[in-house]
Amino acid sequence: MTQFRTPDPYAALPELPALEVRSETFADGETLSAPQLSGKMGVPGGEDLSPQLEWAAGPEGTKSYVVTCFDPDAPTASGFWHWAVANIPAGTTSLPLGAGTPDSSDLPHGAITLRNDASFKGFVGAAPPEGHGPHRYIFAVHAISEEELPMEEDSSVAFLGFNMFFKAIARGTLTGLYEA
């Protein structure tokens, strides 16, 4: 198994019941394909197309979901947030391919997309520095005990995380890999 420079960022958080997360776009531990790479950041063939995701319904008390994509292996002290969507209604258990495209109509009513670390609201694909080694792109789905987390249009993903981790009642992850 590949050795990564950083630990699993979710291992340091309180343990939560598992939520099964899967995708028709890639399998856990599989390399992401060209559409999930970042054209905006200059990766040849990249389309910044968020993968299709689906998850099992959260436990009793689930009132909404949060979906994020995080690269803990980015050469920064804080990793790199590729995507964050909050306040997904509890009746939603999947997002179609491309739902992370800015201004997508594929997100359910009420869902809020936060600004990623590439400074726009949407999904930015994988783009690790050449020769930096393999990076993990951790797609996490959190079941939340509140219908809405207190997000503003300009809230940061760190602020989302602060609020979400106090209200999360289940968590599931699916990890894609990519190396330039």
Establish if 65 belongs to a structural domain.
Answer: yes
Query: For position 7, what pLDDT does the model report?
Result: 85
Q: Is residue 9 part of a domain?
A: no
Structural domain includes residue 26 = yes
Can you give the pLDDT at residue 153? 81
Please, what are the averages of pLDDT over each run of 10 residues along the chain (180 residues)?
75 94 98 97 96 98 98 94 98 98 93 96 96 95 97 91 94 97
- pLDDT at site 1: 44
Annotate 116-146 with DSSP letters as a single string.
-TTSSBS---B-PPTTS--EEEEEEEEEESS
Query: For the chain, how many structural domains are there in total?
Result: 1
4: in domain: no
Give residue 41's domain range.
21-178
| Residues 8, 13: Cα–Cα separation, whole Å | 10
In a domain, 12, yes or no: no
Distance CA 9, CA 65 (A): 19
What CATH number does residue 66 fall under? 3.90.280.10
Residue 19 pLDDT: 98
pLDDT computed for residue 25 by the predictor: 98
Q: Which of 64, 55, 151, 170 is nearest to 112 (CA)?
A: 151
* 109 assigned to some structural domain: yes
The answer as to whether 11 is a domain residue is: no
pLDDT at residue number 152: 86
Q: Is residue 2 part of a domain?
A: no
- Per-residue model confidence (pLDDT) at position 124: 98
> Quick one: pLDDT at residue 2?
57
Six token digits for residue 140 = 């996490």
